[in-house]
Chains A and B, each alone.
Chain A
Amino acid sequence: MNNRVATHLNASDFHLQHDAFGQAVLTLPDGAQHVGVHAVRGFPISDPQRGIALCTAEGRELVWVDDLAQLPPAVRSAVEAELAQSEFLPKIQRILSISMQTDPSEWNVETDRGQTKFLLKSKDDVRRLDQDRALITDAHGVRYLIADATALDRTSRRILERYL
Chain B
Amino acid sequence: MPPVWQASLSAQLAGDESLLGWFETDLDSQLHYAPGLVALTNKRMLAYCPQKQALAVTPAAASPSKLNGHLSQWQSWPLAADLKLHAIDQAAVGTLELCDATSRLASWRYTAARSAFARRLESQCAAIQSQRGKLSTEVVVLPTVCPSCGAIITSSDGICAACAPVAPPAPVSSLFRLFAFAKPRALMVVLGLLLTFAGTAASLVPLYLTMPLINNVLVPRFNGQAVSVQLACWYLVGLFGSAVLAWLLNWGRLYVTSWVSERIASDLRTRTYAHLQCLSLEFFGGKRTGDLMSRISNDTDRICVFLSVSLVDFISDSVMIVMAAAVLIYTSPMLALCTLVTFPIIVWLVYGVRRRLRHGFDQSTVATAHLNNVLADTIPGIRVVKAFAQEQREIERFDRANAHLVSINDGVNIVWSFFGPIISFLTELGLLAVWAFSVWLIFHDQITLGVISLFTGAIGRFYARLESMLRIVYTTQRAAASSHRIFEILDRVPSVPEPVNPVHPARLQGRIELRGVRFKYGTREVLHGINLQIEPGEMIGLVGPTGAGKSTLINLICRFFDVAEGAILVDGVDIRSYPVAEYRKHIGLVLQDPFLFYGTIAENIAYGRPNASQAEIVAAARAARAHEFILQLPDGYDSLVGERGQSLSGGERQRISIARAILIDPRILILDEATSSVDTETEREIQIALDNLIRGRTTIAIAHRLSTLRKADRLVVVERGRIAEIGKHAELLREEGAYARLHKAQMELVQGIGV
| Genuine A/B complex | yes
B637 close to chain A: CB less than 8 A: yes
Assess the A43–B636 pair: CB atoms within 8 A.
yes
Q: Interface size (B, Cβ < 8 Å)?
A: 20
Chain B residues with Cβ below 8 Å from A143 are: 634
A114 close to chain B: CB less than 8 A: no
Question: C-beta contact mask, B326-337 vs A, less than 8 Å → 1, else 0?
Answer: 000000000000
Q: How far is the CA of A44 from the CA of B628 in the complex (A)?
A: 15
Give the distance to chain B from A88, nearest Cβ to Cβ, in Å: 11
Chain B residues with Cβ below 8 Å from A45 are: 600, 635, 638
Please give me the residue from chain B that is nearest to A4 by CB atom: B688
Please give me the residue from chain B that is nearest to A51 by CB atom: B614
Please give me the residue from chain B that is nearest to A64 by CB atom: B618
Assess the A47–B614 pair: CB atoms within 8 A.
yes
A44, A51, A53: the one within 8 Å of B635 (CB): A44
Q: How far is the CA of A107 from the CA of B636 in the complex (A)?
A: 27
Assess the A61–B636 pair: CB atoms within 8 A.
no
Within 8 A of B (CB), among A33-68: 40-47, 50-51, 53, 55, 59-61, 64, 66
Chain B residues with Cβ below 8 Å from A127 are: 640
Chain A residues with Cβ below 8 Å from B638 are: 43-46
Chain A residues with Cβ below 8 Å from B382 are: none
B627, B634, B644: the one within 8 Å of A61 (CB): B627
B631 close to chain A: CB less than 8 A: yes
Q: How far is the CA of A40 from the CA of B636 in the complex (A)?
A: 8
Assess the B602–A59 pair: CB atoms within 8 A.
no
Question: C-beta contact mask, B471-491 vs A, less than 8 Å → 1, else 0?
Answer: 000000000000000000000
Chain A residues with Cβ below 8 Å from B618 are: 42, 51, 64
A124 close to chain B: CB less than 8 A: yes
Give the distance to chain A from B610, nearest Cβ to Cβ, in Å: 14
Give the interface size class of chain A: 20 to 34
B622 close to chain A: CB less than 8 A: yes
Chain A residues with Cβ below 8 Å from B277 are: none
Question: C-beta contact mask, B606-626 vs A, less than 8 Å → 1, else 0?
Answer: 000000001100100010000
B751 close to chain A: CB less than 8 A: no
A32 close to chain B: CB less than 8 A: no
Q: How far is the CA of A68 from the CA of B648 in the complex (A)?
A: 30
Q: How far is the CA of A53 from the CA of B631 in the complex (A)?
A: 8
Assess the B628–A41 pair: CB atoms within 8 A.
no
Q: How far is the CA of A41 from the CA of B614 in the complex (A)?
A: 13
Q: How far is the CA of A4 from the CA of B644 in the complex (A)?
A: 34
A6 close to chain B: CB less than 8 A: yes
Assess the B628–A59 pair: CB atoms within 8 A.
yes
Q: How far is the CA of A6 from the CA of B621 in the complex (A)?
A: 12
Q: How far is the CA of A6 from the CA of B635 in the complex (A)?
A: 22
Q: How far is the CA of A66 from the CA of B638 in the complex (A)?
A: 16
Assess the A61–B628 pair: CB atoms within 8 A.
yes
B632 close to chain A: CB less than 8 A: yes
Chain B residues with Cβ below 8 Å from A46 are: 600, 602, 637-638
Chain B residues with Cβ below 8 Å from A47 are: 614
Asked, given contacts A66-B615, A124-B644, whether A43 binds B637 with beta carbons under 8 Å apart, the answer is: yes
Please give me the residue from chain A that is nearest to B621 by CB atom: A42
Q: How far is the CA of A29 from the CA of B632 in the complex (A)?
A: 25
Q: How far is the CA of A78 from the CA of B287 in the complex (A)?
A: 58
| Most chain B CB neighbours (cut-off 10 Å) among A44, A61, A66, A141 | A44
Assess the B602–A43 pair: CB atoms within 8 A.
yes
Chain B residues with Cβ below 8 Å from A50 are: 614
Give the distance to chain B from A38, nearest Cβ to Cβ, in Å: 9
Q: How far is the CA of A27 from the CA of B163 in the complex (A)?
A: 69
Please give me the residue from chain A that is nearest to B629 by CB atom: A59
Please give me the residue from chain A that is nearest to B636 by CB atom: A42
Q: How far is the CA of A46 from the CA of B632 in the complex (A)?
A: 17
Assess the B631–A55 pair: CB atoms within 8 A.
yes
Give the distance to chain A from B695, nearest Cβ to Cβ, in Å: 15
Assess the A59–B636 pair: CB atoms within 8 A.
no
Chain A residues with Cβ below 8 Å from B636 are: 40-44, 51
Asked, given contacts A44-B636, A127-B640, whether A6 binds B622 with beta carbons under 8 Å apart, the answer is: yes
Q: How far is the CA of A42 from the CA of B601 in the complex (A)?
A: 11
Assess the A59–B631 pair: CB atoms within 8 A.
yes
Assess the A61–B614 pair: CB atoms within 8 A.
no
Q: How far is the CA of A47 from the CA of B635 in the complex (A)?
A: 11
Q: How far is the CA of A44 from the CA of B629 in the complex (A)?
A: 15
Q: How far is the CA of A124 from the CA of B645 in the complex (A)?
A: 9
Q: How far is the CA of A40 from the CA of B627 in the complex (A)?
A: 12
Q: How far is the CA of A43 from the CA of B630 in the complex (A)?
A: 10
Give the distance to chain A from B732, nearest Cβ to Cβ, in Å: 32
| Most chain A CB neighbours (cut-off 10 Å) among B600, B629, B635 | B635
Chain B residues with Cβ below 8 Å from A51 are: 614, 618, 636-637
Please give me the residue from chain A that is nearest to B688 by CB atom: A4
Give the distance to chain A from B251, nearest Cβ to Cβ, in Å: 28
Within 8 A of A (CB), among B133-191: none
Chain A residues with Cβ below 8 Å from B632 are: 40, 59
Chain B residues with Cβ below 8 Å from A4 are: 688
Chain B residues with Cβ below 8 Å from A60 are: 628
Give the distance to chain A from B615, nearest Cβ to Cβ, in Å: 7
Question: C-beta contact mask, A4-44 vs B, less than 8 Å → 1, else 0?
Answer: 10100000000000000000000000000000000011111
Assess the A40–B614 pair: CB atoms within 8 A.
no
Chain A residues with Cβ below 8 Å from B631 are: 40, 42, 53, 55, 59, 61
Please give me the residue from chain B that is nearest to A53 by CB atom: B631
Chain B residues with Cβ below 8 Å from A124 are: 644
Within 8 A of A (CB), among B654-699: 688
A-B contact pairs, 11 of them (CB 8 A): A6-B622, A42-B637, A44-B636, A45-B635, A51-B636, A51-B637, A55-B628, A59-B628, A59-B629, A60-B628, A124-B644
- Given A40-B631, A43-B602, A43-B636, 8 extra CB contacts under 8 A: A6-B622, A40-B632, A40-B636, A51-B637, A53-B631, A55-B631, A59-B629, A141-B634
Give chain A's interface residues, CB within 8 Å of chain B: 4, 6, 40-47, 50-51, 53, 55, 59-61, 64, 66, 124, 127, 141, 143
Return the 8 tightest CB-CB contacts between A and B, nearest first.
A45-B638, A42-B636, A40-B631, A43-B637, A59-B632, A53-B631, A46-B638, A42-B637
